[in-house]
Amino acid sequence: MFKMKKINSIKTLFFLLLLLFSQSVSSYSGGGGDDDIYTQINRNMDVYGKLYKEIMLDYVDEIDGDKFMKAGIDGMLATLDPYTNFLDESRKDEIDLITTGKYGGVGITVGMKDSAIIITDILDGYSAQKEGIRRGDKIIEIDGNNLVGKRVTEVRQYTRGAPGTSLVMKVLRGDKELVFTLTREEVQLKNVSYKGTLEEGIGYIKLDRFSRYAENEIVDAITEIKSKGELKGLILDLRGNPGGLLDAAIGILNKFTNKGDLLLTTKGRKLDSERKYFAAENPIVPGNIPLVLLIDENSASASEIVAGAIQDLDRGVLVGTKSFGKGLVQVFQPLSYGNQLKITNQKYFTPSGRWIQAKNYFKENKYGVFKPNPYFNQKEFKTLNGRLVYAEGGITPDKVVDAIKDNELLEALNYEDMYYRFAVKFTAENPSAANFVMNDDVLNQFYDFISQSDFNYTTSAEYELADLKKNAEDKMYSEKVKSYIGLLEGELKSEKFKDFESSKPVIRQNLEKEILKKYNVPEKVIIDAVSKDDLQLQEALTIIKDRGLYNSMLQPK
Q: What is the DSSP string of 212-276?
A: TTHHHHHHHHHHHHHTTS---EEEEE-TT---B-HHHHHHHHTTTS-TT-EEEEEE-SSGGG-EE
**211 and 174 in a common domain:** no
**Which DSSP state fits 13?**
H
Question: Does residue 247 sit within a domain?
Answer: yes
**296 and 208 in a common domain:** yes
Residues 6+ apart with CB under 8 A from 269: 27
**107 and 61 in a common domain:** no
- List the one residue out of 330, 323, 291, 286 whose CA is nearest residue 310: 291
Question: What's the CA dihedral at 400, 404, 408, 410 to 10 degrees?
Answer: -130
Model confidence at 57, pLDDT cuts 50, 70, 90, reads very high
Question: Does residue 151 sit within a domain?
Answer: yes
DSSP H or E segment with residue 47 = helix 34-58
**Amino acid letter, residue 362:** F
Question: Does residue 92 sit within a domain?
Answer: no
Residues 6+ apart with CB under 8 A from 88: 70, 338, 339
Question: Does residue 85 sit within a domain?
Answer: no
Highest mean pLDDT among 35-44, 129-138, 285-294, 460-469: 285-294
Question: Does residue 426 sit within a domain?
Answer: yes
Give tens-digit pLDDT for 175-231. Answer: 889 999 999 999 888 899 999 999 889 999 999 999 989 999 999 999 999 999 999
pTM value is 0.81
Residues identified as active-site: 301, 312, 326
Residue 386's SS3 state is coil
**213 and 357 in a common domain:** yes
Q: Please state, in angstroms and rounded to a whole number, the distance separating the CA atoms of residues 179 and 171.
A: 6
Last residue in a domain, options 158, 188, 218: 188
Q: Are 416 and 136 in contact (CB under 8 A)?
A: yes
Q: Please state, in angstroms and rounded to a whole number, the distance separating the CA atoms of residues 492 and 359.
A: 34
**366 and 258 in a common domain:** yes
The arithmetic mean of pLDDT across residues 9-26, rounded, is 46
Question: Does residue 502 sit within a domain?
Answer: yes
**468 and 392 in a common domain:** no
- Pairing between β-strand 192-199 and β-strand 185-188 as defined by DSSP bridges: unpaired
Q: Please state, in angstroms and rounded to a whole number, the distance separating the CA atoms of residues 228 and 516.
A: 24
Q: Are 155 and 171 in contact (CB under 8 A)?
A: no
Q: Are 193 and 205 in contact (CB under 8 A)?
A: no
The pLDDT assigned to 33 comes to: 55
Q: Are 211 and 251 in contact (CB under 8 A)?
A: no
Last residue in a domain, options 135, 158, 188: 188
**207 and 182 in a common domain:** no
Last residue in a domain, options 156, 188, 220: 188
Longest dimension (CA), the chain: 78
Q: Please state, in angstroms and rounded to a whole number, the distance separating the CA atoms of residues 49 and 12.
A: 11
Q: Please state, in angstroms and rounded to a whole number, the distance separating the CA atoms of residues 147 and 141.
A: 5
Average pLDDT, the chain: 86
- Pairing between β-strand 291-295 and β-strand 317-320 as defined by DSSP bridges: parallel
Question: Does residue 66 sit within a domain?
Answer: yes
The arithmetic mean of pLDDT across residues 142-153, rounded, is 87
Q: Which domain holds residue 39?
A: 2-78
Number of Cβ within a 10 Å radius of residue 7: 11
Q: Please state, in angstroms and rounded to a whole number, the distance separating the CA atoms of residues 29 and 506.
A: 55
The arithmetic mean of pLDDT across residues 513-521, rounded, is 88
**Which DSSP state fits 406?**
P
pLDDT at 395 over 60: yes
Question: Does residue 230 sit within a domain?
Answer: yes
**323 and 302 in a common domain:** yes
CATH number reported for the structural domain that contains residue 165 in this entry:
2.30.42.10
R_g (Cα) of the chain, nearest Å: 27
**Amino acid letter, residue 85:** N
The arithmetic mean of pLDDT across residues 478-485, rounded, is 78
**379 and 251 in a common domain:** yes
**277 and 240 in a common domain:** yes
CATH number reported for the structural domain that contains residue 360 in this entry:
3.90.226.10
Residue 108's beta-bridge partner residues?
A: 122
**396 and 476 in a common domain:** no
The pLDDT assigned to 27 comes to: 38
**178 and 201 in a common domain:** no
The pLDDT assigned to 288 comes to: 97
The domain total for the chain is 4
What are residue 444's phi and psi, to 5 degrees?
-65, -35
Model confidence at 7, pLDDT cuts 50, 70, 90, reads very low
Model confidence at 480, pLDDT cuts 50, 70, 90, reads confident
